[in-house]
Structure 1
Amino acid sequence: RSGTSGTGGTAAAGANTGASGGGSRPLIAVAGGPAFTFAYAEHAELLRAAGAETVSFDPLRDETLPEGTRGLVIGGGFPEVYGPQLAENRRLRSVVRELVAAGGPVAAECGGLLYLCRELDGARMCGVLDGTARMTEQLTLGYREAVAVGDSVLAPAGLRVRGHEFHRTALSPGAGDEPAWGLVRPERRREGFVGGPYGNVHASYLHVHWAAAPSMARRLVEGCRTCPR
């Protein structure tokens, strides 16, 4: 589902409300453009309801993040189709790494997870996560029930969610030392990554609609307010 429309139009407000200094309404940049079209529009609405400003950015074309950005949301899409072009945007990849190194919270799903890896089918990605991804012939598809393994910028340990997977890629390793989720149905396995120097990155294949767990949006916004960046 394409849902990044509606996240723009707040950039000027966010950039001028003290967001860069951790103001009361931190600015969260939401990835969009041709490579990242799978996102729920309600996520940006929930972030704003939780006290953030949101603005969209295009990882294919924008060479930096909007001024004052405190955190990122990178949803799904087709980064595998645009791998070489994403790799060519070295400046933005560097800016994303700098934001993570400074403690900026990042929530990434599916395509966003791939973008944060070291490589995708040999194309250099952001290198925020210590993993590589490749396209396969196998379709991974279905609903999942999951539990947050530990605390993260998106979920407290023990939070139960329902989401879905839909991709044809494989990761190596399949999950981080600190995984994002423990899947409990229909199969048991650990999935995703909680990474970054402050545990400030939550990246997973699992698409979760935050309207079913509004605390996720509130937790991300609070992390943007209090992050050391």
Structure 2
Amino acid sequence: MAGGPAFTFGYAEHRELLLAAGAQVVVFDPLRDELPEGTAGLVLPGGFPEEHAAELAANTVLLGAVAARAKSGMPVHAECAGLLYLTRSLDGHPMARVIDADAEFGPRLTLGYRDAVALADSPLWRAGERVRGHEFHRTRLVTAASDAPAWGWHGSDGARVREGALVQRVHASYLHTHPAGNPDATARFVAAAVEYAGIRASR
């Protein structure tokens, strides 16, 4: 689980539920650390990576490791700051390039609750599941994140919104969800990590 100055927004219950589901949770700082040994699942919570983009970009060893693990099928749960970390670039600084999109600090704040529906199966949610979450960000994606968006909802004007990205076993989105309201999702994520660890061990 990412922590440190760039990933400051998370819930204590998230770590507690991961532990309850059988995970060993190791918090690391993407500004300076490498991916912890034995990592089989990655949680990238919210925060303010735009304030630390140059430092995040400088940790090329970690960026490369995250990209390689995501490509190999490791489950990744990325919310807001995590989404930005997985893009090609953030304010011109190279990121992990897991998601085919670029991000930048935008002109206005996006804020509000969302009644979202999972658009496809992922390591956390099943297609059609409804989730209550919120957005709070001033960054924006300047190119489409994915042909396979993670969430759908209706905006205040009634227009259909498609948001986030599903890439391999990566679920990335601006939407913040509270794990205590979605404990099954956390349990599924841990199960996916156990499965991934078993696959790696058998190679």
Short-chain TM bin: over 0.9
Q: Within 2, Cα distance between the matches of 1:183 and 1:138?
A: 20
Q: 2:185 is aligned with what amino acid?
A: M
Q: Within 2, Cα distance between the matches of 1:183 and 1:76?
A: 21
Superposed CA deviations along residues 197-216 of structure 1, whole A, max 9, x for unmatched, are xx210000000001111111
Q: Specify the alignment match of 2:68 in structure 1.
A: 98
1:157 to 2:127 alignment: yes
Residue 65 (structure 1) shift? 1.2
Unmatched segments (≥5 aa) in structure 1: 1-29
State percent identity of aligned pairs: 57
Superposed CA deviations along residues 2-48 of structure 1, whole A, max 9, x for unmatched, are xxxxxxxxxxxxxxxxxxxxxxxxxxxx0000000001111111111
Asked if structure 1 preserves the Cα contact closer than 8 Å seen for 2:100 and 2:145, the reply is no
1:190 to 2:132 alignment: no
Q: Within 1, Cα distance between the matches of 2:145 and 2:4?
A: 27
Residue 98 (structure 1) shift? 1.5
* Moved >4 Å (runs of 4+): none
Q: Secondary structure at the match of 1:138?
A: strand
Q: Specify the alignment match of 1:52 in structure 2.
A: 23
Q: Secondary structure at the match of 1:80?
A: helix
Q: 2:74 is aligned with what amino acid?
A: G
- Out of 88, 103, 107, the position equivalent to 2:58 is 88
Residue 72 (structure 1) shift? 0.4
Higher helix share: 2
Where do residues 96-135 of structure 1 align in structure 2 (5 Å cutoff)?
Answer: 96-135=66-105
Q: Specify the alignment match of 1:146 in structure 2.
A: 116
Q: Secondary structure at the match of 2:50?
A: coil
1:77 to 2:75 alignment: no
1:216 to 2:173 alignment: no
Residue 185 (structure 1) shift? 5.2
Q: Specify the alignment match of 2:10 in structure 1.
A: 39
Q: How many pairs were matched up? A: 196
Q: Secondary structure at the match of 1:135?
A: strand
Q: 1:55 is aligned with what amino acid?
A: V
Unmatched segments (≥5 aa) in structure 2: none
RMSD: 1.1
Question: TM-score by structure 1 length?
Answer: 0.83
Question: TM-score by structure 2 length?
Answer: 0.93
Q: Secondary structure at the match of 1:46?
A: helix
Asked if structure 1 preserves the Cα contact closer than 8 Å seen for 2:99 and 2:145, the reply is no
Q: Within 2, Cα distance between the matches of 1:184 and 1:151?
A: 20
Residue 165 (structure 1) shift? 0.3
Q: Secondary structure at the match of 2:43?
A: strand
Q: Within 1, Cα distance between the matches of 2:188 and 2:37?
A: 22
Q: Specify the alignment match of 2:174 in structure 1.
A: 205
Q: Secondary structure at the match of 2:69?
A: helix
